[in-house]
Amino acid sequence: MGGEGEAPSAPGDEDGGDEGAAGELSGEGEGEVPAYSGLRCGMPFGQEDLCGGCAEERCCDVARACADAPGCGDSVGCFTACAALAGEGDGGDGDPVEDAAAACRRRCRDEGPALGSQVRVQPLLACLATECAQECGECGPTDLFFGDECSTCFARSRNACEHMATCVGEEACTNQLACFTQCKDPLCNVNCPDSDGELADALIRLVRPARLACRAACGIASAWECVDGFEWGTARDDEITVSVEILNLVTGAPVAGLDIAACHRLDPLCANPLDEAETGADGTTSVKVPLTADPTGFPGYIQVTGGFIGDQIVPMLLFYNEPLVRDLTLFGPAVDVETAGTFVFLATGVERDPFAGALVAQVFDCRAHQAEGVSISLTLDPGVPPAYVSAVVPDLNLQATSTDGLAVFSNIPIGQEGFERFQLAGRLESSGEVVTDTSVIVRPDFQTYVVMNPRSR
């Protein structure tokens, strides 16, 4: 984008359009975004717009810096230009709920330049949030990141506006927020944290209060647009590091002194571990896994044995239905024998059988949220129905995952070989569509825990 001479374009407005005129919206939302004739500080805020007036008075330097940076002006300008469509009809697809301005902003989010890649946008967002929060919306620049319904709900969450102002005041938080809200598949999501795999504290504080209150409005736990539409890629190195963090399922405390082993899927009893380590006081450790024989990813699992949390823990097998082609961290929920027995009784009404196995599946949607409304089945039916979990407790009234995304199979019979292999499929309760699948190994007196991401190509 240039300086004062040209207003930034937005999806559907590559040719600019008549100055000052609202573009016509029609068809399947393929309309245009209007261009403003009057720029303020290089940005198309509009001559009558309160947000633009405040930005011109208090944020002009950072607005002009954004306007002069390729991509940055287009990103923000797309949203500000949509204001000209306020109150004008529907969004072009006959939906009376979504007006033209909302449809315009949706296209900006879906088709416009990626906010997270524009280094100049963060100072402008920070200034608008702190200096022009009242003039630029109920909760600052939330429309840049969330859909209209989500943005409205979010703004009503406790301390959300204060957390938003804090987040956009920090470059790391702004970039991560932009990254996550624009991601549409799990591979994109894994690249949003920083180089150490950490999330900004301000982002955690921002998102936490809205995750439950705004699940429906924000499409949390029900995003499946990526199914069969993405690839995990292949390994770029001959070896990857798999970090493991084991936490007490009940208390969340780290569990130290556990023996960790990386095992190949063709070694179901882990008789020949590829690498071994022990968790430290923080419940973490790491193992090295060679990929020279299989560049499509580590075809194995992590075995966790030993250790106590008041009582001896139930040993675990950790599976991931994503091909492990890069360094990553696996999390394991540790439970002691007594707690496991209580859980099994609540789920089945019978005592835990130490000669049987257990399987815990946790489902995540395309945007890495714990997914609800997914029913889990095993292709080789062991005669054990799943129990779905709500707030860490089995709820026998549920027929699909709740907000925890968890399904548990208890007291699975194990044959004389000492293990069983199972194929899992996750289907949307609403339609029956298979959105995730994987395979696991179950062993007696072990708890198999598997992360089920959306199915890739």
Pair 315, 374 in one domain: yes
Question: Which is higher by pLDDT, 236 or 90?
Answer: 236
**Any idea what the Cα angle at residue 351 is, between residues 347 and 352, rounded to 5°?**
80
Q: Mean pLDDT over residues 94-116, rounded? A: 61
In a domain, 7, yes or no: no
Residue at 217: amino acid letter: A
CA-closest candidate to residue 167, choices 143, 203, 132: 203
Pair 171, 256 in one domain: no
In a domain, 220, yes or no: no
Pair 345, 419 in one domain: yes
Pair 276, 201 in one domain: no
Residue where one domain finishes, among candidates 178, 213, 248: 213
pLDDT at 184: 79
Pair 378, 279 in one domain: yes
Which string of DSSP letters, residue by residue, matches 323-334?
A: -B-S-EEEEEEE
Pair 253, 378 in one domain: yes
pLDDT at 62: 85
Q: Which residues share a beta bridge with 300? A: 264
Pair 145, 267 in one domain: no
Pair 189, 263 in one domain: no
Q: Please tell me the distance from the alpha carbon of residue 167 to that of residue 437, in angstroms, as a whole number.
A: 36
Pair 160, 251 in one domain: no
Pair 119, 180 in one domain: yes
Pair 303, 247 in one domain: yes
In a domain, 226, yes or no: no
In a domain, 104, yes or no: yes
- Residue 63 is part of which domain span? 50-213
* pLDDT tens column, 155-197: 777 777 788 878 877 888 888 887 887 777 887 877 787 766 6
Range in 16-20, 190-194, 254-258, 335-339 the model is least confident about: 16-20
Residue where one domain finishes, among candidates 153, 179, 213: 213
CATH code of the domain containing 416? 2.60.40.1120
Q: Which residues share a beta bridge with 421? A: 441
Kindly give the pairing relationship between strand 357-363 and strand 447-452. parallel
> What total number of domains does the chain contain?
2
* pLDDT tens column, 38-72: 577 877 665 556 777 888 888 888 888 887 777 77
In a domain, 41, yes or no: no
Whether the model pTM is above 0.85 = no
In a domain, 10, yes or no: no
pLDDT confidence tier of residue 84, bands split at 50, 70 and 90: low
In a domain, 15, yes or no: no
CA-closest candidate to residue 452, choices 306, 283, 319, 285: 319
pLDDT confidence tier of residue 98, bands split at 50, 70 and 90: low
Pair 254, 206 in one domain: no
